[in-house]
Structure 1
Amino acid sequence: MQQPGGPGQGTGPDQLDSSVAALVRDAGASVALVYLLPPGERVLQLAVVSGVSRRIAAPWARIAVEAPIPVAEAVRERHQVWLGSQEEVARRYPQLGLVLPYDFMLAATPITSGTTVWGGVVLLWPIRHSPQLSSLEREAIAAFCRRTGLLLRQGADSGHPVLPAPEPRVLAPPRSRSPERAEALAAVDFAERLPLGCCALDLDGRITFITATAADLVGAGAVTLTGARPWEVLLWLQDPVFEDRYREAVVSRRPTSFTALRPPDDWLFFELYPDASGISVHITPIPSGHAPTTAPWEQPARSAEPVGATALYHLTHLAATLTEAVGVQDVVDLVADQIVPAFGAQALALMTPEDGRLRIIGYRGYPAELMRRFDAEPLTTDTPAVRVLNTGVPSFYSTFADLKRAYPPAVHQDDKAAWAFLPLIASGRGVGSLVLAYDRTRPFPPAERAILSSLAGLLAQALDRARLYDTKHQLAHTLQAGLLPQTLPRVSGLEVAARYLPAGHGMDVGGDFYDLIRCDESTAAAAIGDVQGHNVTAAALMGQVRTAVHAHGTAGAFPGEVLARTNRLLTDLDPGLFTSCLYVHLDLARHRARLATAGHPPPLLRHPDGRTEVLRLPPGLLLGIEPDADYPTAEIPLPPGTVLALYTDGLVETPGTDIDDSIAHLARQLALARDQTMDALADTLIAHATKSAPRHDDIALLLIRACADSETP
């Protein structure tokens, strides 16, 4: 993948890596994570890591743009997010604070060029950093984002986009100098002469150097320890607290310590001193009589294979993340994004029973053709995925030979070497099966089986909640859709188009409505409105309001009278909800329109010559407030070629943006799309409004174009 440029510039990924290294140096940061947003996707993918291991970064490898995570907010809102303390992290992003309860400061900044967001960068500093970014640090971040945005823009324009690899690239720690061999040997001799034990860990927690004294203190040979993580080879260090101290040191870049009992009765004191390249560890024996009688984290009875902090860390992260899942697709996406990188599997398949068959609703790491082959297995077949669903008992196969012994008809159809088949049980019911597959044989010790079973339990509960949500959501929106017109009447002299989009999140339904009314051969009417609230009550009231407006309009009442009569009805009903409404009476013979508003966003008018304006109508109170409210009527010309755009506030309201600016922007989009049909124009306006940020309100849009008789569709 070559990045355009002259000789010696290297590839896009190479340029990105060198830019990240320069950013870490210039900004004085301890950790950097660079995310890319592939074209057309709404998931940020981790591309480059500096300052921590891939294992620590794994839970954050894929982040939905809508997620409550700093980098997602930075990309979503196109502004920098600064978190100056652990308390601020916990307050603003409780999920992040739960999984990373360490002291650090964080800046998340979007990577942009022009109007395009290409991704984001996250930087961490130790808590000793000043409360705010310095001007030099801000400029270093801004320069990196400018360079990277240009790099990504050039790659996309040249047809060679810089895309994230399946695994993020981890940059090597910076080295201030290259020590000579004599200096290195002198340093080793110095460490060996010390009466205390010394060792060094890299950022992945592996021992890169250990003195003979330290090896004697922990009771293992240097050969056994070098290249290994201490808590993986020393059973008495396998308590999750010990690994968590290492993680704390890497993330916070602050010294930390802990006390551990080496059986039978030798207490050791560990001090960890981190920097950008790794961790120096001092190990000191505690004299008899000074050792603690108990350790606060000590468990009365521990398995010989206790669950490590990494697994608990990933499980906690997944549990916190699943609380944000709403529908089944949210759960599927989270499972696919989090479990594969975090729990060591290379592939997974998530299945649920449906109509007597086991359907695959999500997968990762498997080819689509293989998934189609296994999809929709009858629940009467004897396969591992069906059996664990029916029995509720998980199955683990360390090799294909193990799988073949349990299921003689089995054929090795994938390239995997080990499998875990986990039942998803919620409230005593089987709601699905999860298959995890591994590239290498795997022993699945009891501790790992326990954590995978806990994982399956979390997923089952989330999936059960999500299915219930989807059912209620579909029922509510079916009710709401039934209250809206299924089709718009054909009216001679008009070209019309309508769109309705429910809110992107939340189960509640809104009260947005629109209508087109044929009054007689030469007149018609249009209405659009929004009932306050997002619940079934609002949707039901919307049906009453639309019915009242339609009835008064069909009877030939003028706009101000239609709104006044509907207002009196609402005040009599006293629903406790207010309603905005805009009503338009169209005189097609005279090419005129009369309009009245009840607190509704102003309509847009595009003249035949393309000039577009926001119609500022005489104001009227929201419906349902004052029974004797008056609704003034305004009249405008409506010659052939004129386009009138009616919409609800969901189309123009975005967090942090002035609504008048959003309405003016919508008017400009309407002016630019002069040659489109009303259907195409409706799609354009909706797409433009929704691509920049997720919408949290319903959207209704009604477009009306006055035509000459010969143009009538």
Structure 2
Amino acid sequence: MSRSAAPRGRGPGPGVRPRPPRAHPGGVTARPDSGGPASDAMAQVLARATVGVVAAVGGYAGGVYLRCGQPGQLRMAALMGLPGPLFRPWWRMNLSRPYPVAESYRTGQSVHLPDAEAAMRRFPQLMAGLPFPFASMFEPVTSGAERFGVMMALRAATPGVPVAPEDRERMRRAADRLAGELAELAAAGDPVLWDGDPLYTERPDASGGALEAVERLEQGLLSLDRQGRIGFVNAAAERLLGTTGPELRGRVLWEALPWLGHPAYEDHFRAVFMSTEPVHFPARRGRRTPAEWVSVDLYPGIDGVTMTIGATDQPAYAPASMARPGGGLGSPADRASALYRPVALAIALTEAVTARQVSAVVTEELLPAFGGRQLAIYLLNERHLHLAWETGFPQGFLDRFDGVGLDVRLPGVETLTTGRPLFFESMEHLAAAYPGIPLDAHVGARAFLPLIASGRPVGSCILGFDAPRGFSPEERTVLTALAGLIAQALERARRYDSEAALARGLQSGLLPHRLPVHDQVDTVGRYLPGTQGMDVGGDWYDVVETGGGRLALVIGDVQGHGVAAAATMGQLRSSVRAFALTGSTPQQVMRGTNQLLSDLDPGQFASCCYVVLDPATGTAEAVRAGHPQPLLRHPDGRTEVLDLAGGVVLGIDPEAEYPVTELRLAPGSVLALYTDGLVEKPGIDIDVGVERLRRLLAAARPDPLTETADRLISEAGNSADRPDDIALLLACRTGGAA
């Protein structure tokens, strides 16, 4: 939900007026937030089902998502126990998003999340937007092959205790009953689709009354129903707020008291309606000068929320937009709280592949959003924390903490071992909590965040600020949620780095470490891995001495990257080498390799060029399987792109044929075989790259051949954004001693 001022009728702020309720059988009351599209029959069905499932599982809120006219989306059709406008960002659910509602619908399976930790492990984006302690249950609403939507229920969290089997069964039965009724409506011609705002359902016994004893309290007290409407106001609240009970009762809180509709308070109210834990925060009342502050305490219950309010002093660290109303969201902290959504960082983290890239994203996205200047990330390895990334700290200051064990009393260690984030409003507070800890020259605040992914410790993150400052509840919950996302990205990057190292090692072992030395032919090979994504591919080259003194020159490119591509490359190289050593003709070599790849891994493809050269005469036979055309530099420097007949890439058609083209290399000629990574650039036609390579080869001195190879590959090697790997094989017929 946007933290900016809510437009009229679209948020918890001013202008949200309740609509007249509609009575349904059984005492259930439903009220649409903005006029639903449902027939009365469907409204009755949804109202009964929502109240029934919440009661069945002992919850305090629930709802139903149904299909809508927009493909690939669900819309919230019924809601109970939560103020609808406060949760408007979740009214529409895209089925491709990683949320429990979407997963339950896609898979047709139940999703049960007993606590925030379980939800964070499976659905970090959900908890990033709603970082509150609550339990949730989601059940697909299905009748036969027809899937109408998803039923959900919220209740108090049970940390470490899974949802009981009997509650799972109650939820399943409630969803089955709803599915049956919806199927009957559909059969009667009432389409089960929802394209409007949710229908709000109330408990039959919802009440805003209070005992006479509260009138004797000096503290203001108000009772709110689960939609946020004021039901009771005691005399102390009337005096403090300067209004009367009749003016407040029946109105939505944020309409009656607009200053409580400020975006900085939205997460407080979400928290109290989503969980069963009390919420406390200071609020600035209106725009009065001098500032008038009140303490707000919220106590949730099944039927509503009790709110107490009393005068208080201005907090030590008040957000700038609260201390200076009308000035907008001016400070970095306010901008972070109101505008920076954890999902934005999550999206950026999905693009980061390596640990260094993850750290760079955190530096670029997280620090500016919260006004931070310093960042350090430590990763856990064999019970020691090692510095993986730092920015903003004095040079060498963090070296003393590199490699510390988990038994050392330091905040960066304790935040990981306890799983609890640590916030210090100034360096004085940090020094008092950890006497003797080395401090840098900065005097600002510090935040220490545990990096834990799916219950596994990954490391710790340190945020530094130039000046003392407080950390609002919103910032603490957001930073804690973000730490979980960062940890998951780092854990993914660590697995990726391990796989990349394995693939590089595998490929290094499979590529030839040296090429055969021949007195009439010089050969030079080069290989460069791609830099975009830091992944290895399946490019390879080889030179094989066959019978009769001939040389087989081979180059190939397996589709894809990673361990699988490198392994396939090794199998193909071995296959080509084996066929070549048996004296097979070029056509037989290519045909046999094609059949082998088709049998080994249907769906895996590779291109290849195979040339058999007789060094004594310079005659050659070549076959090509979907590979770029080789280049031939004649002794006089004239360089041409050869026109070899070719067949389809390997692995497509087991019966494919590969025609042979005959060539002749005069003494001093240079044959260049290469993979497409050397000539392809994003957005540029491959023919442009081939022509550039042809000119480079024409201008190069053929002797020594190593310098020619280095020159041809140097331009591509200097690119920092190379999506593909590169293989190059040069063969020069000397006609004499090497």
TM-score (norm 1): 0.54
Say if 2:625 and 2:658, in contact at 8 Å, map to a contact too. no
Find the counterpart in structure 1 of residue 727 from structure 2.
700
After superposition, where does 1:661-676 map in structure 2 within 5 Å?
Answer: 661-674=688-701
Find the counterpart in structure 2 of residue 635 from structure 1.
663
Post-superposition Cα deviations, 1:89-140, rounded to whole Å, max 9, x if no partner, equal: xx9xx9xxxxxxxxxxxxxxxxxxxxxxxxxxxxxxxxxxxxxxxxxxxxxx
**Pick aligned residue for 1:448 from 468, 471, 475:** 475
Find the counterpart in structure 1 of residue 369 from structure 2.
342
Q: Give the partner amino acid of 2:451.
A: L
After superposition, where does 1:336-375 map in structure 2 within 5 Å?
Answer: 336-375=363-402
SS at match of 1:430: strand
**Pick aligned residue for 1:466 from 493, 499, 518:** 493
Post-superposition Cα deviations, 1:44-76, rounded to whole Å, max 9, x if no partner, equal: xxxxxxxxxxxxxxxxxxxxxxxxxxxxxxxxx
Find the counterpart in structure 1 of residue 620 from structure 2.
593
Q: Give the partner amino acid of 2:402.
A: D
Find the counterpart in structure 1 of residue 545 from structure 2.
518
After superposition, where does 1:130-141 map in structure 2 within 5 Å?
Answer: none
Post-superposition Cα deviations, 1:134-192, rounded to whole Å, max 9, x if no partner, equal: xxxxxxxxxxxxxxxxxxxxxxxxxxxxxxxxxxxxxxxxxxxxxxxxxxxxxxxxxxx
Distance 1:463 1:574, change over 3 A: closer
Find the counterpart in structure 2 of residue 657 from structure 1.
684
Post-superposition Cα deviations, 1:650-680, rounded to whole Å, max 9, x if no partner, equal: 3223333222222112212333343785445
Say if 1:654 and 1:693, in contact at 8 Å, map to a contact too. no
Determine the C-alpha separation between the residues in 2 that align with 1:447 and 1:342. Answer: 13
**Pick aligned residue for 1:457 from 467, 472, 484:** 484
Distance 1:631 1:300, change over 3 A: farther
Q: Is the aligned partner of 1:388 residue 2:384?
A: no
Q: Is the aligned partner of 1:623 residue 2:650?
A: yes
Distance 1:237 1:565, change over 3 A: closer
Q: Which runs of 5+ in 2 are unaligned?
A: 1-93, 98-241, 243-257, 268-282, 289-304, 310-314, 320-332
Residue 532 of structure 1: how far off its partner (Å): 3.9
After superposition, where does 1:217-236 map in structure 2 within 5 Å?
Answer: 236=260
Distance 1:571 1:675, change over 3 A: closer
Q: Is the aligned partner of 1:566 residue 2:593?
A: yes
Find the counterpart in structure 2 of residue 193 from structure 1.
none
Say if 1:583 and 1:596, in contact at 8 Å, map to a contact too. yes
SS at match of 1:491: coil
Find the counterpart in structure 1 of residue 263 from structure 2.
239
Say if 1:528 and 1:647, in contact at 8 Å, map to a contact too. yes
**Pick aligned residue for 1:311 from 334, 337, 348:** 337
SS at match of 2:359: helix
Distance 1:502 1:241, change over 3 A: farther
Q: Give the partner amino acid of 1:338.
A: E
Say if 1:497 and 1:679, in contact at 8 Å, map to a contact too. yes
After superposition, where does 1:463-502 map in structure 2 within 5 Å?
Answer: 463-502=490-529
SS at match of 1:424: strand
Say if 1:348 and 1:436, in contact at 8 Å, map to a contact too. yes
Residue 564 of structure 1: how far off its partner (Å): 3.5
Residue range with higher mean Cα deviation, 500-509 or 372-381: 500-509
Determine the C-alpha separation between the residues in 2 that align with 1:677 and 1:483. Answer: 26
Find the counterpart in structure 1 of residue 404 from structure 2.
377
Q: Give the partner amino acid of 2:444.
A: A
What percentage of aligned pairs have identical amino acids? 45
Distance 1:235 1:470, change over 3 A: farther
**Pick aligned residue for 1:527 from 554, 571, 593:** 554
Say if 2:532 and 2:723, in contact at 8 Å, map to a contact too. yes
TM-score (norm 2): 0.52
After superposition, where does 1:549-564 map in structure 2 within 5 Å?
Answer: 549-564=576-591
SS at match of 2:357: helix
SS at match of 2:351: coil
Residue range with higher mean Cα deviation, 614-623 or 388-397: 614-623
Say if 2:528 and 2:717, in contact at 8 Å, map to a contact too. no
**Pick aligned residue for 2:462 from 427, 435, 445:** 435
Residue range with higher mean Cα deviation, 699-708 or 612-621: 699-708
Residue 406 of structure 1: how far off its partner (Å): 1.5
Q: Give the partner amino acid of 2:665.
A: P
Distance 1:240 1:561, change over 3 A: same
Residue range with higher mean Cα deviation, 659-668 or 616-625: 616-625
Q: Give the partner amino acid of 2:664.
A: I
Determine the C-alpha separation between the residues in 1 that align with 2:479 and 2:264. Answer: 16
Distance 1:414 1:499, change over 3 A: farther
Determine the C-alpha separation between the residues in 2 that align with 1:463 and 1:630. Answer: 47
Residue 348 of structure 1: how far off its partner (Å): 0.9
Determine the C-alpha separation between the residues in 1 that align with 2:307 and 2:490. Answer: 34
Determine the C-alpha separation between the residues in 2 that align with 1:605 and 1:565. Answer: 27
Residue 539 of structure 1: how far off its partner (Å): 4.3
Q: Give the partner amino acid of 1:343.
A: F
Residue 362 of structure 1: how far off its partner (Å): 0.9
Distance 1:699 1:608, change over 3 A: same
| Count of aligned residue pairs for this structure pair | 432
Determine the C-alpha separation between the residues in 1 that align with 2:598 and 2:662. Answer: 24
Post-superposition Cα deviations, 1:448-496, rounded to whole Å, max 9, x if no partner, equal: 3233222222211221222222223333444444433343333344443
Determine the C-alpha separation between the residues in 1 that align with 2:396 and 2:284. Answer: 53
Distance 1:527 1:593, change over 3 A: same
Say if 2:665 and 2:733, in contact at 8 Å, map to a contact too. no
Distance 1:353 1:237, change over 3 A: same
SS at match of 1:321: helix
Determine the C-alpha separation between the residues in 1 that align with 2:599 and 2:369. Answer: 59
